[in-house]
Amino acid sequence: MTWRALEDRCWRLARGLVELGVSPGDRVAFLGFNSHRLFECYYVPSRIGAISVPVNIRYAAHEMAGVLADCAPKVLFADTAHWELARQMQRETGIAFLIHADDGPAPEGAAVSHDAIADASGHGPDCDPEGGEDIRMLGSAGQDVAMLFYTGGTTGRPKGVMLSHTALFTNALGAIPIYGFRDREAQLLSGPMFHLGSGSRVFTAPLLQNLTVIVPRFEPALALQAIETHRIAAVQMVPTMLQMLLDHPDFGRHDLSSLRLVSYGAAVMPQALLARVMEALPGISFCQAFGMTECAPVVTALPPAEHYPGSKTLGTIGTPVRHVDMRIVDEAGCDVARGATGEIIVRGPNVMNGYWNQPELTAQALRGGWYHTGDAAWMDDTGFVHLAGRTVEMIVTGGENVYPVETENALALHPAVSEVAVFGLPDARWGERVHAVIRLRAGMQTDAAQLTAFCRGLVAGYKLARSYSFCNEALPQTNVGKIDKARLRREALQQTSALA
């Protein structure tokens, strides 16, 4: 598909939404695997002032309903694989229209199909000076909210991160020299496009005129084949995906000589894995990005020039990118001394407008004009930033963020569970895994398999505990009466190392 064809399709889709009654400020959501249609849905809603919401397909149904009730889209695009789920969501949350965004005929319940609109005739308003003025007046721009991305929250209530055109555009423009992206090279989108890790590449693509190859979802065999077939130069992976690629039996059987740049992020990269990747893919540039959805997303980067065997900076998250102001502060908001640990706070045109419908949480997160990341870090003498844990407890597993309270709430519903504490433990495959400590109710029994089966459907699969410990005594408490997770985590780590 040419850029011109994409541009025309987007305008026709925008007109189609207007005909369905979508107005400026309305939300338009997308539920499905990666596709060129999801790529289009990044761009279409804001052309008429609406807000695009790519939905995480991994949510359990009741979590998804919570998100959709929160943002209340007027239109939901969905692919065939998620069509029945979309219909359920429509019934539960009152979405006005479903649009079928897939190949084949539109199934029951579809107001219209994506391609029926996109494939119609007619050009964008810029090629059609007679007829285009009206629709262009609707478009949002600058600080207007262009997209909502949902992330977990410490309270269990999901947070809709409001990102403006300025934020998304600044991240895209600023990324180019950081990663060393090149014009017109082929890129692969294999990570989930409902996250900004891959989603941000939707916005760099037209700036760079990248041939963009999209695979429906990450599977090592699909990704390896796509790299070979389309002579892919640039890929982006979370560490878990890189490991799955390397471990795949076909890894050595594919021609990966077109690869030029591998960027990684969204989770801590184990140094052993990085060394293995650099050895397996010699002569390739690597770039690490650190950030979060609230920053659209990049905050710091470790550029290709720092990636060489023996580099002392490989264990850091690099330096702040040029378009952000970053500070490391103490609890009073004052800069800590170089070398001391504090919280990373960020200011810049890339920072979110706030959380959808949550003004108090927004004011708290953006207090003093700075976004408070909840990540603890320190800066060394050379200006490189070292992560030092999180000031709020959050588990990053396979590139997804899990707030323990969500898993704890699900487990607590099980009749055999008296007390529960969830935290992250290091994991060779997932970076961190979700671990649960369970105090059994007196006289009752259960096991890991039963608990996981019980929670499946209550929370997204990536939020399920992957390991458990059981006990019959009360869980230890801190001196303010909260469960002492730090102590439980230390004990779990000792057990693990004793086993190894």
Taking CB under 8 A as the rule, does residue 309 contact a second copy?
no
- When the beta carbons of 32 and 174 are compared against a second copy, the nearer one is 174
476, with CB counted inside 10 A (0-12, 13-18, 19+), is: middle
The 3-state DSSP class for residue 31 equals strand
Question: What is the rounded CA–CA span in Å between residue 266 and residue 283?
Answer: 24
- Judged by CB under 8 A, the chain residues 90 through 129 that form the site for a second copy are 126-127, 129
The contacts of residue 208 (CB under 8 Å, 6+ apart) are 176, 181, 182, 183, 184, 185
Q: Which of 62, 91, 322, 482 binds a second copy (CB under 8 A)?
A: 322
In degrees rounded to 5, what are phi and psi of residue 374?
80, 0
Beta carbon of residue 133, minimum distance to a second copy (angstroms, whole number)? 7
Beta carbon of residue 230, minimum distance to a second copy (angstroms, whole number)? 23
- Judged by CB under 8 A, the chain residues 343 through 402 that form the site for a second copy are 349, 368-369
Taking CB under 8 A as the rule, does residue 210 contact a second copy?
no
In degrees rounded to 5, what are phi and psi of residue 295?
-115, 10
Name the DSSP letter for residue 477: B
In degrees rounded to 5, what are phi and psi of residue 496?
-60, -45
The CB density around residue 203, as the number of other CB atoms within 10 Å, is 22
**Token pair belonging to 249:** 């039996």
- When the beta carbons of 334 and 480 are compared against a second copy, the nearer one is 334
Beta carbon of residue 38, minimum distance to a second copy (angstroms, whole number)? 23
From the list 167-175, 236-244, 474-482, 489-497, the region that binds a second copy by CB under 8 A is 167-175
Q: Which of 96, 207, 268, 448 binds a second copy (CB under 8 A)?
A: 207
Q: Which of 92, 111, 135, 136 binds a second copy (CB under 8 A)?
A: 136
Beta carbon of residue 450, minimum distance to a second copy (angstroms, whole number)? 52
From the list 26-34, 172-180, 398-406, 488-496, the region that binds a second copy by CB under 8 A is 172-180
Q: Which residues does residue 302 pair with via DSSP β-bridges, in sequence order?
A: 288
Angle between the N-to-C axes of helices 239-247 and 220-230, in degrees from 0 to 180, rounded to the nearest 10: 80
- When the beta carbons of 347 and 489 are compared against a second copy, the nearer one is 347
Peptide bond into 297 cis (omega under 30): yes
Taking CB under 8 A as the rule, does residue 170 contact a second copy?
yes
Give the closest residue to 192 by CA, choosing from 407, 457, 399: 399
Taking CB under 8 A as the rule, does residue 142 contact a second copy?
yes
Concatenate the DSSP letters of all residues of 443-456 into one string.
T----HHHHHHHHB
Q: Which of 54, 174, 199, 297 binds a second copy (CB under 8 A)?
A: 174
Beta carbon of residue 322, minimum distance to a second copy (angstroms, whole number)? 4
Give the closest residue to 150 by CA, choosing from 29, 23, 40: 29
The contacts of residue 447 (CB under 8 Å, 6+ apart) are 468
Q: Which of 66, 107, 156, 333 binds a second copy (CB under 8 A)?
A: 333
From the list 87-95, 112-120, 162-170, 481-489, the region that binds a second copy by CB under 8 A is 162-170
- When the beta carbons of 283 and 369 are compared against a second copy, the nearer one is 369
Taking CB under 8 A as the rule, does residue 177 contact a second copy?
yes
Q: Which of 176, 221, 281, 492 binds a second copy (CB under 8 A)?
A: 176
Residue 138, CA distances (Å) to 14, 127, 199 in order: 10, 17, 24
Name the DSSP letter for residue 200: H
- When the beta carbons of 78 and 377 are compared against a second copy, the nearer one is 377
Question: What is the rounded CA–CA span in Å between residue 495 and residue 500?
Answer: 9
Beta carbon of residue 190, minimum distance to a second copy (angstroms, whole number)? 24
The 3-state DSSP class for residue 201 equals helix
Taking CB under 8 A as the rule, does residue 163 contact a second copy?
no
From the list 72-80, 174-182, 243-251, 475-483, the region that binds a second copy by CB under 8 A is 174-182
The contacts of residue 473 (CB under 8 Å, 6+ apart) are 439
Residue 302, CA distances (Å) to 18, 153, 261, 288, 431 in order: 43, 28, 13, 5, 19
The contacts of residue 109 (CB under 8 Å, 6+ apart) are 83, 87, 90, 98
- Judged by CB under 8 A, the chain residues 231 through 270 that form the site for a second copy are none
Question: What is the rounded CA–CA span in Å between residue 401 and residue 266?
Answer: 9
Taking CB under 8 A as the rule, does residue 166 contact a second copy?
yes
Taking CB under 8 A as the rule, does residue 135 contact a second copy?
no
Q: Which residues does residue 459 pair with via DSSP β-bridges, in sequence order?
A: 456
- When the beta carbons of 184 and 253 are compared against a second copy, the nearer one is 184
- When the beta carbons of 315 and 333 are compared against a second copy, the nearer one is 333
Rg (CA), the chain: 23
- When the beta carbons of 113 and 200 are compared against a second copy, the nearer one is 200
Q: Determine the size of the site formed for a second copy (CB under 8 A).
A: 26
Beta carbon of residue 207, minimum distance to a second copy (angstroms, whole number)? 4
Q: Which of 103, 119, 133, 134 binds a second copy (CB under 8 A)?
A: 133
Amino acid, res. 88: Q
- When the beta carbons of 104 and 369 are compared against a second copy, the nearer one is 369
Binding site for a second copy (CB under 8 A): 126-127, 129, 133, 136, 142-143, 166, 169-170, 173-174, 176-177, 207-208, 322-323, 327, 332-335, 349, 368-369
